[in-house]
Amino acid sequence: MIFDIISAIPELLESPFEHSILKRAIDSGLIEVNVIELRKYGVGHHKQIDDYQYGGGAGMVMMVEPLDNCISELKAAHSYDEIIFVTPDGQTYNQGKANELSLQKRIMIILGHYKVIDQRIRDMHVTLELSIGDYVLSGGELPAAVLVDSISRLIPGVLNDGTSALTDSHQDNLLAPPVYTRPAEYKGQSVPAVLLSGHDKNIDEWREEQALSKTQKLRPDLLDD
């Protein structure tokens, strides 16, 4: 899986990809993350990438020309399964969409900064608009890291145990059941006896019951879906 990410401030993406699971996935060749600096495509002597919006109003808008030149150059060199723009007014991102995207080969992610990007970029190039929640951030770098992490962990070989991702919250529209590790007793709190029984069928049934109960209590909307 290859991720090509267009960013006005690529430095904001350095840390998420240089540690832990994502770094191991990159080093092993399971994923490739290319961060393209938009400023290189900027206009004029100062490499301008933003300007005031037509019609007035607060906030600077990312210009159409630098983005179009960058995106067009990438599209001429590569074939993309999706060209994603992360934006608060996009489709709400969820585990189901992460599952779908993990089956793709190459994805471009366009990151906004300042106010937003020129609408013509969305009309000309974007195939999918995604929001990680009903709130606004200063730029798309954090949402991009969320997308890459959530998609990559579903790719075979990225996690040490491939079944781990399949039992996470939101797979099958349920929250994950409680989990425990050693010691079995701690400050008067005990691990449920069924988890110590060694009886796989009973353990599976307990986990299913706990997942359903937890979902009904904390996220009943998932059951409606």
User: Is 83 strand, coil or helix?
Assistant: strand
173-197 in b/e form (b: 16+ CB < 10 A) is bbbebeeeeeeeeeeeeebeeebee
pLDDT of 99 strictly over 90: yes
pLDDT score of 190: 98
Q: State the burial class of residue 64 (Cβ atoms within 10 Å of its Cβ: 0-12, 13-18, 19+).
A: middle
Q: Which residues pair with 116 in a beta bridge?
A: 61
Q: CA 74, 80, 83, 84 torsion: positive or negative?
A: negative
CB 211 within 8 A of CB 174: yes
pLDDT score of 224: 86
Question: According to the CATH classification, is domain 2-152 in 3.30.1330.60?
Answer: no
Low-confidence winner among 38-52, 73-87, 102-116, 154-168 (lowest mean pLDDT): 154-168
pLDDT of 141 strictly over 80: yes
pLDDT score of 163: 62
User: Is 182 strand, coil or helix?
Assistant: coil
Say how far apart CA 50 and CA 46 lie, in whole Å.
11
Say how far apart CA 34 and CA 56 lie, in whole Å.
35
pLDDT (tens digit, 9 = 90+) per residue, 6-42? 999 999 999 999 999 999 999 999 999 999 999 999 9
Of 33, 40, 25, 48, nearest to 3 by C-alpha is 33
CA atoms within 13 Å, Cβ hemisphere of 179: 7
| Domain spans in the chain, listed from the N-terminal domain onward | 2-152, 169-224
pLDDT score of 197: 97
Return the percentage of the chain with pLDDT > 70, whole number: 96
Confidence band (pLDDT; 50, 70, 90) for 204? very high
pLDDT (tens digit, 9 = 90+) per residue, 182-201? 999 999 999 999 999 999 99
pLDDT score of 225: 67
pLDDT score of 160: 81
Confidence band (pLDDT; 50, 70, 90) for 171? confident
Q: CA 212, 217, 218, 222 torsion: positive or negative?
A: positive
pTM of the model as a whole: 0.90
pLDDT score of 161: 76
pLDDT score of 173: 85
Q: Which token pair is 51?
A: 């300007």
Q: CA 199, 205, 208, 214 torsion: positive or negative?
A: negative
pLDDT (tens digit, 9 = 90+) per residue, 81-91? 999 999 999 99
Q: What is the CATH number of domain 169-224?
A: 1.10.1270.20
CB 40 within 8 A of CB 73: no
pLDDT score of 164: 63
